[in-house]
Structures are given as structure tokens and as C-alpha cells.
Structure 1
Amino acid sequence: MRHLTLDNCLIHPPSSFQGFDRLITLELCNVAISSELLGSLISHCSLLEKLVLEISEVPISNIIEINVSKLKSFDFSGCISYISLMNVPLLTKVSLNLYEGSSMEAQNVYFVKFFESCFALEHLLFKFYIFDQFDNAETDEAPKRLPFDHNRVKRFYLPSIILESLYQTLCCFCLIRCFPYLEYLEIEICNDNDDYGAALLELERFADVTFNHLREVKLDDFWGNAHEMQLLKLLFAKSPVLVRVIIDSYSHPKRRSKILV
């Protein structure tokens, strides 16, 4: 068997289970399994290249360990404290959708360790919930950057970014700052406030940042509000080789004329 998908089931393999030594793709969606068994199952799939984990809102574990040397693609959706990546030298594509209740905040040491582990990363999708304790966090509490650069990241996707949330916006830019060779950036904007947060994106805050390799930007659900225009201004000013900008406002056709002005 080369590909396996399990959905809404209980996984409890017998003690003699030795894993799937030929499995290339494994997808587990809302399954009931202990963290120990999950880690063991994954580690015994020695040829695994693609792993998809979709965990329910109730966390199955504080920590999930992934140790697969041939893993190239990892897609996680769910509630988790820490994902431990061990021996993943080929991992180039990661999608993280962190639900409410997760604790991999940007200032958390686990957050740093996660990105430090996937040093071959080239494509990243990162979506995270604003945890209650940071709803009213001051901007100086948000991290400015990781303690290292990810020089291989070329494409970065940020779905459902709330520019009105100062903490979330700064956390996103914490990552962007650390991708000096970024070529493609896609941001889905999720807000409708007209001007709150615009000052956060003033050029002076990013004097140390230049996106020297950024060639294409896509902004989804763009309304043309003050903070969105400031984001666009920032990207233009800091991207000397930018050749293409796609602005998608079709979710709000009544406001499309504002975008075209």
C-alpha cells in the first residue's frame, strides 16, 4: 500500500504492528489516537513523503513528534502545543493551520524550534488563531524576527490576516523579515475597519527590511481601507524587483470601484 487516508475513526494497532514500510502518503483526519501511537505510526513509515494531519478542536496531545527522513510535505490543521520535527532534511512544503487552544505563539520557544527544524523549507502556509491572552497585547510584546533567517523560503501564504489585530500582523511580519529570498507573497485580508492599524505599517517601522527578491504579491479580499493601502505602500517601497501585484476584491463587488481609483 502506497497511499492511506483515514477519516473519523479509532486507531489502535496490535502490538505486533510494524508500520507501513511502503507508504508514501498518509492522511489522518479527525482520528482518535494517542500521541505516542501517532508518533510511532509516522516514524515507522520510512518512505513517507506527504503527511496530512487534521486534528479536532480538542487537542490529542501537547506534543506530536515527527521523525521521517524522506518527508517532503507536511499539512497540519488543529490544536497543538508543539510539533517536534526530527530528521526532516527534505521537508520543503509546510502548511500550518493552528486552531484556538494551540500554544505555538510566535514568542514561544516551541515556535522558534519548529521553524529551526525545517531548514529546507521553501513553501509555507501559516494561519493561526489570535489567542485570548494576546487579544489586547501591546505591539512591543510581539516578536520582531526569528533568531535566524530561512534562506530557502520562496513562497509564503498568509490566509485570514486581521490587520486590525496589531499582534497578529506583527507576528506575520516577524516571519516575513526572516525570509530574505522570498519571491511570492499571498495575503488574504480579513477585516473591514477603515483605518485602524494603518500606523502599524508605517515605513519607519521597517527601516531594516528590504524584500530584495520579492517579484509577485497577491492580496485577496482587498477593500482599499487605510491600513490595506498602507500595506500596499509598504510592499511597493520595500520590494525593488517587484514585477506583479494582483489585487482580488471580488468578495466585495460593491466596493470594487474604490480599489480602482
Structure 2
Amino acid sequence: MTTPQSRIADHVHSALDVVPQTPIIEPLRRAFAAHEGALADIENAFRTFTSAAPTPERARYFFHSWSLTNHSAMCVSGIGNRITLRLLDERNGIDKPRLTSALLALHRISDEDLGALGGTLHADLFYEMADLFCDGDAWMRRGFALDSARAFKDYKNRTGLRMPDLMFGLLSTVAHEVYTHGEVEFILPLFRGLVQQHFDIDEKQQRRRLAWISVHCGPTEREHFRHAVEAIDHYCAATHTDLGAYELEQLFGEYIENKAAVMRDLSRLMTTLN
């Protein structure tokens, strides 16, 4: 008898279990429990895509639209820029050492993504993966972006970079980091199986092509999540912000539903393309 594959939520909860308790942990648990249907739709989209060798056209829509849900380094850097502006604020009441600690925690999230530790830029790893399935880089054309994927990117940019209250950006970052931990852990065996079955490349090439997924597995995204939690703790202390003033479960659920909207549309589109 085979063991059922772990769901995204299982991996998310494993990450929540190892982070010190803060006011955001329980709302995250409730949000992921309340939106099980959305998570199931996301899982089904990945299962559908990896169930057979995708045509280049299907892959181009899939990878371009999926990529628009993964651009966290830009948002994290933008939030950091906004914090530096707060550090320049001469108004009384801001604890600048704690605000600096929030900024440092954010920078630790984007270190690997930006290649700041000497590794490969993660955008290049994603390109390597997409190139295998998409037969070149045509997938990067904006015409392959679904409307819901564009809407997701706008939502992330709005919460992280445009809303006057910076806390919304920090909360969105927490949701993104812990969700992404669950996603990459869930999809790695799916993509490995797809490549092994349908692509004539050796094991070294398989690892290279799927490195974008594998490098985010294990402790990587869990640590990103921990840093995001630390950033919120420091920011709240620095600015005397009360998390009780925010509808945390609702905000986290909004992230899940926006992500699910993209993946549902991709699932529907896959059935209409050659």
C-alpha cells in the first residue's frame, strides 16, 4: 500500500511548528485550515501539469504565469527600501535599532534569491528549468501571462510597495514564505517524476534543471519564513504597532486565494491547449 503524498498544508504546518510562538502563528494555522479547498486546487494544477509531457505551448503559459507568483525578492527588497526611509524619519517614538533589526531580517530573506552569498541568481535557475519544458525562452513573452497571474503580481506589489501601512507588506511576505515552503516540498517529487519519465537527460542534468525547486526545499524557505517573522516582531516593537489591529487570518487567506486563482486558471487552460 502506497503512502499518500504530503499536502502543501502538511509542509506548512511543519514550518509553523519550529518557529517560536508569536501572534501570527495561530492565524496562519487557521488560514491554511480554512482554505483547504484552495490548496487542493493548487495541488491539482501541479499534478495536472506534471501528469504527462507538456507541449511547449502549455509549458509557456504555465511557467510565465507561475513565475509571476514567485517574484518575492523584488517585493522584499522594496519593503526594505521603505524601512530605510522610516530610519531617516526624525519623528520621535521610532526605535531605530529595532527598525534596523527588521531591515536586517528582511535582507536575509533575499540573500539566496539575489545570489548575494555567492550562489546562482535564482531567476537564472528558474530560467534553466523553464527552458527544458518550453523549448527556448519564448515563455518570457508577456502574452503568456494569464490575467489572474497579472492580478496576483499587482496584488503583491500593492500590498508590499504601495499601501501606506508597511505592515501589510510584511504580513504578505510571511504568508508568501511559509506557503512557498509548502509548495516546493510538494512539487519536487512531481517534477522529478516528470523529468525522469519524459526527458532523456542524465541525473546531473536533472538536478541542474530542477535546481530552482530543490534549492528552496529543506531549511531554505523555513529560514526565510523565520526571518520574515523576526522582521515583523522587530517592526512592531520599533513602531509600537499592535498586530491585534489587523485581520490576520483574513489577510493570510487572501494570499492563498489569490494564488489559487492563478493555478485554477492554469488547470482550465491546460485542457484547451495542444
User: Shorter chain as normaliser: what TM range?
Assistant: under 0.3
Structure ranking higher in strand proportion: 1
| Higher relative helix content | 2
Asked which structure has the greater CA Rg, the reply is 1
Q: What TM-score results when the alignment is normalised by the length of structure 1?
A: 0.20
TM-score by length of 2: 0.19
For CA contacts below 8 A with separation 6 or more, give which structure has more relative contact order: 2
